[in-house]
């Protein structure tokens, strides 16, 4: 399957289909860096510069971008605005995406108020909860609806992205209702594995998972300082002696 968009610029179809997951996960980072460069007035940027700005290797950056197409100029670099546009388009950010947020507790409040969403092209279309004492409450510009009204809202806004910020026990039930209403992309903040049909994409963000992973590394550092010897570390106090720095 050689012969891709030679000379002619756009061949987005096959290219976009084959973008590796790992690359997709880095694209938003590139986009952010490009926006920052644009704000500062830079018009072009080399792979080396953009790579260090985003914390990846320059080779990886180039390979990532090559999956989207050939939008650089050899000897010069990438044009900031143009590259930003193409990444944006690959990510599907050409439009504004409505987001429905379910669960207006501690975290839900924070998410609803998070400015970063709006400025990146996401609009909170509606807030939902099942707790009847919360229905009608105002959070930001939105007012909290009952989850039963989900279909109405989705009927108005069309395809939406769902965000689940409920306690764990409610998550699966909420998820099912989102899916039933036609939502096919879900961001899950509840610490539960969601069962969904195959066409639905779920991403999970688990705060205490992250802390535990950090813990592992922290713990390992501690061991490295204290015990070159295996046996003693099991008996000694792990963090008592700060030997060498």
**Looking at 57-65, 101-109, 119-127, 198-206, which segment touches DNA (CB under 7 A)?**
57-65
Q: Which of DNA, a second copy, none sits in contact with 109, Cβ below 5 to 8 A by type?
A: a second copy
Pairing mode, strands 72-73 and 97-102: unpaired
Residues 161, 182: Cα–Cα separation, whole Å: 10
Question: How many Cβ atoms are within 10 Å of 27's Cβ, its own excluded?
Answer: 19
Question: How many Cβ atoms are within 10 Å of 206's Cβ, its own excluded?
Answer: 14
Q: Is 35 in the site for a second copy (CB under 8 A)?
A: no
Each residue 72-101 as x (binds a second copy by CB under 8 A) or -, in order, gives: -----------------xxxxxxx-x-x--
Residues 194, 173: Cα–Cα separation, whole Å: 9
Site size for DNA, by CB under 7 A? 26
CB of 130 to a second copy, least distance (A): 18
Q: Is 180 in the site for DNA (CB under 7 A)?
A: no
CB of 223 to a second copy, least distance (A): 7
Residues 65, 89: Cα–Cα separation, whole Å: 13
Q: Is 23 in the site for DNA (CB under 7 A)?
A: yes
Residues 197, 192: Cα–Cα separation, whole Å: 16
Q: Which of DNA, a second copy, none sits in contact with 117, Cβ below 5 to 8 A by type?
A: a second copy
**Looking at 59-67, 113-121, 175-183, 229-237, which segment touches DNA (CB under 7 A)?**
59-67
Cβ closest to DNA, residue 76 vs residue 213:
76
Residues 169, 189: Cα–Cα separation, whole Å: 12
Q: Is 16 in the site for a second copy (CB under 8 A)?
A: yes
Question: How many Cβ atoms are within 10 Å of 182's Cβ, its own excluded?
Answer: 14
Classified as helix, coil or strand, 173 is helix
Helix axes 58-66, 47-54, angle to 10 degrees: 110
Question: How many Cβ atoms are within 10 Å of 31's Cβ, its own excluded?
Answer: 21
Residues 29, 129: Cα–Cα separation, whole Å: 32
**Looking at 46-54, 140-148, 198-206, 225-233, which segment touches DNA (CB under 7 A)?**
46-54
Cβ closest to a second copy, residue 148 vs residue 232:
232
Q: Is 72 in the site for DNA (CB under 7 A)?
A: yes
| Residues of this chain, 77-136, that bind DNA according to CB under 7 A | 77-78
User: Footprint of DNA on this chain (CB under 7 A)?
Assistant: 20-23, 45-48, 56-60, 62-63, 65-66, 70-78
């Amino acid at each position: 399957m050689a012969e891709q968009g030679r000379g002619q610029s756009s061949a987005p179809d096959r290219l976009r289909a084959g973008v590796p997951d790992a690359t997709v996960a880095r694209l938003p980072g590139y986009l952010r860096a490009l926006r920052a460069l644009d704000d500062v007035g830079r018009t072009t940027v080399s792979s080396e510069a953009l790579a260090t700005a985003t914390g990846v290797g320059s080779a990886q950056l180039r390979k990532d971008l090559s999956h989207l197409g050939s939008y650089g100029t050899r000897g010069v670099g990438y044009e900031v605005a143009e590259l930003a546009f193409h990444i944006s388009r690959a990510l599907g950010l050409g439009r504004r995406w409505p987001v429905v947020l379910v669960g207006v507790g501690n975290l839900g409040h924070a998410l609803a108020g998070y400015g970063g969403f709006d400025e990146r092209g996401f609009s909170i279309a509606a807030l939902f909860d099942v707790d009847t004492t919360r229905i009608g409450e105002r959070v930001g510009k939105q007012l909290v609806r009952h989850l039963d009204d989900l279909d109405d809202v989705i009927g108005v806004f069309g395809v939406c992205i769902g965000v689940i910020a409920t306690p764990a026990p409610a998550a699966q039930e909420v998820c099912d209702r989102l899916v039933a209403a036609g939502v096919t992309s879900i961001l899950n903040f509840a610490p539960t594995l969601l069962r969904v049909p195959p066409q639905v994409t779920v991403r999970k963000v688990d705060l205490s998972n992250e802390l535990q992973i950090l813990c592992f590394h922290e713990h390992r550092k501690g061991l490295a300082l204290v015990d070159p010897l295996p046996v003693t570390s099991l008996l000694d106090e792990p963090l008592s002696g700060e030997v060498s720095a």
